Amino acid sequence: MKLVFAGTPEVAVPALDALLASGRHEVAAVVTRPDAPAGRGRRLVASPVAERAEEAGIEVLKPAKPRDPGFLERLREIAPDCCPVVAYGALLPKAALDIPAHGWVNLHFSLLPAWRGAAPVQHAIMAGDEITGASTFLIEEGLDSGPVYGTLTETVRPTDTSGDLLTRLAFAGAGLLAATMDGIEDGTLKAVPQPAEGVSLAPKVTVEDARVDWNAPALRVDRVVRGCTPAPGAWTTFRGERLKLIQLALAPDRTELAPGRLAAGKNDVYVGTGSHAVELLWVQAQGKKPMKAADWARGVRIAEGEALGR
């Protein structure tokens, strides 16, 4: 089939690579978000998908909005059979959805209908899911509600951050998306409507969502930190300034610390929660680089009775 691939971040690159390597389909063009300011200089930078497409010599389309008439006209000229999508980042209008004969097929990082929305992996970890996965489905006008072509499952490991899990799903899902394109071309794959039961939503995780509540049980604190790493980054406050929490470990034997209360030893730092303590392993103070929590504690000289979240 002739394909136009839509995607933007690094997590979409493995799927583009898989389609380019398949040898079976032609990736005629790539659709991605416009260049965005990045880094300290805030200079405009192309998306990871745009950079990979340019390396491969593929036409890159960067509409400000997918309903732009110029973009829709170019898409009609290319006349793709199908448009595979991974984390494109913009809502597709019906005028765009109607162009390819086999529609737009999205690789979504959850087992639909669970975790429809922008942040399925983060929500799966924060909810304590033990199993998640990826799905390919036909995009309709509803939010991730279209019929499903295929799925794969992935175990959520006890120490997984959303970054860890998303990386594994990106590579496993790339194969699923390529196989879905093959099945659509062969006519061997039929999209199956999603069940009405089991729907859950995964909206974008905000900075406020990533603030740790030390009155919550240790398991919840751990899930929030892992689910919000690397983005938007779990955080708390110390002496009125923001402290980013990069990595911690459960410490079920320590139950004497009140929620938020700190206890710093020579080589370790513990903080109380609503159940038992957690050990801080890596943190990042405002304006500083990430550092081991014990080094941070020595630098700030934690006093008796001090706490996080204040």
Binding residues: 110-113
Residue ranges of the binding site for (6S)-5,6,7,8-tetrahydrofolate: 110-113
Q: Count how many Cα atoms sit within 13 Å of the Cα of residue 9 in the half-sphere of its side chain.
A: 9
Q: With CA atoms as reference, report the closest residue to 45 among 53, 56, 57, 37.
A: 37
- Own/partner contacts of 262-271, CB < 8 Å, gap of 24 or more, are 262/297, 262/302, 262/306, 262/307, 262/308, 264/294, 264/297, 264/298, 264/302, 265/294, 266/294, 267/294, 268/293, 268/294, 269/293, 269/294, 269/296, 269/297, 269/302, 271/214, 271/307, 271/308
Using CA atoms, how far apart are residues 109 and 121, in angstroms rounded to an integer? Answer: 7
Cis before 232 (ω within 30): yes
